[in-house]
Amino acid sequence: MLADSDLPLFAWAETPERFRRAKGDPRDYAAEWRAFAEARPDVAASILKHASDAADLGLPRVEVNALFADARARFGVSLNNSWRAAAASWCCEQDPRLDALIERRRRKVTK
């Protein structure tokens, strides 16, 4: 039988090079989303398909949070909630009809 100390529950994985940044540099969530979409095109395509299906059905609004929840359940993937804005913009770039369905906030620039 294994002891608790034998389980690698708290073994931290090394951060992939593409996500490393200098201390104090802000995170680029759009770049992180694009990297995820390239690594898992099946998940990104599913998110886009469900959003496009909502447009086809004439729904007045699509929530990216619901699309992420569905993808998490279907694929068992970890999706960072901070990627939702980038994913929303990506979906609107892929299917312009979604621009009216996906509500997006304007970002405030802070210094």
What is this structure's pTM? 0.74
Separation CA 47–CA 79 (nearest Å): 12
Out of 9-13, 37-41, 59-63, 68-72, least confident range: 9-13
Domain borders along the chain are 39-111
Residues of the chain with pLDDT > 70, as a percent, come to: 75
Separation CA 43–CA 71 (nearest Å): 6
